[in-house]
Amino acid sequence: MAVSLSNIISSGVGGAAVALITYLTTRPRMRAEARKLDAEAERTRAETAKLLAESATQPTSEFDTADLPKGWHVTGGRTEDYTYGLDSHVHQSGTASAFIRARPSPRDFGGLIQSFQADNYTGKRVRLSAVMRTKDVAQQAAIWLRVDARGKYIAFENTSSESRRLGGTSGWVRREIVLDVPPEGEVILLGAFLMGSGCVWIDSFNFEVVRDDVSLTELTDAPQTQPVNLDFTQGLN
């Protein structure tokens, strides 16, 4: 049976219209889902930061301190869901690295922490750096730095932002935090944590005072100084 040219054109126009309508109706939903995922990631980051900021600084009773690197303690939301220790076979420098390894079906996060008096660092800008290696990390691994005064934290940062967190399997990667220690700071705490399944090795921690012209890492994105994409020709975010 012959098909007229007008029918073909009508069919084509109809198909294009359907495709356009489908795109226009599903695009907002896709953008909404993307925003939801971003919000969930930010909420996870905030919850992790809160837990780290409120974690106790004393060793957890169920862990034998002989299994931990000297000077380090265990912290976290579910410390019992992780194991901690030294690995003399996997290290970036020296003779060993510290590791945090998840047990089956881990909850929250587990971490290593140490603290010291802030007297020599108050009013100064400091940098904490370390190298980390990961294997099968489902969620994230990061380092963190915190300043306390009168039993509460007054400055805090970690490397769990989207651009700095580590996940999956990777070789040695350096991460750093540059933070100003408030004049009223009393105690400085630092460490590393693992959230979710997998294993992270941490090596070559370094803590130092830096010049004031060294950029703070919390400000990872430069502030916008002029309008952009006013003619809408630069595509989507």
Task: Decide if 237 is inside a domain.
Answer: no
CB atoms within 10 A of CB 69: 17
CATH number at residue 187: 2.60.120.260
Q: Is 145:210 a contact under the CB 8 Å cutoff? A: no
The tally of CA atoms less than 13 A away on the side-chain side of residue 39 is: 6
Q: Write out the residue range of the structural domain in which residue 58 sits.
A: 45-210
Q: Is residue 32 part of a domain?
A: no
Decide: helix, strand or coil at residue 66.
helix
> 9 in a domain, yes or no?
no
DSSP H or E run through 29? helix 5-54
For residue 199, being part of any structural domain is answered with yes
Pick from 136, 78, 86: which is nearest to 109 by CA?
A: 78
Residue 18 identity: V
* Distance in angstroms (rounded) separating the CA atoms of residues 148 and 54: 10
- Using CA atoms, how far residue 101 sits from 61, 95, 106, in Å, is 19, 19, 10
* Whole-angstrom distance, CA of residue 158 vs CA of residue 175: 10
CA gap 145, 178 in Å, rounded? 9
pLDDT in tens, 13-53: 455 555 545 555 555 565 666 566 555 555 555 555 555 55
What is the pLDDT tens value at each position of the chain, 237 positions in all?
A: 444 434 433 444 455 555 545 555 555 565 666 566 555 555 555 555 555 555 544 444 454 455 788 899 999 989 999 999 999 999 998 899 999 999 999 999 999 999 999 999 999 999 999 999 999 999 999 999 999 999 899 999 999 888 888 999 999 999 999 999 999 999 999 999 999 999 999 999 999 999 999 999 975 444 556 777 777 777 655
Is there a domain that residue 189 lies in?
A: yes
> Does the residue 175 lie in any domain?
yes
**Does residue 137 lie in a domain region?**
yes
- Structurally, the chain folds into a number of domains equal to 1
Domain assignment present for 181: yes
pTM for the model: 0.69
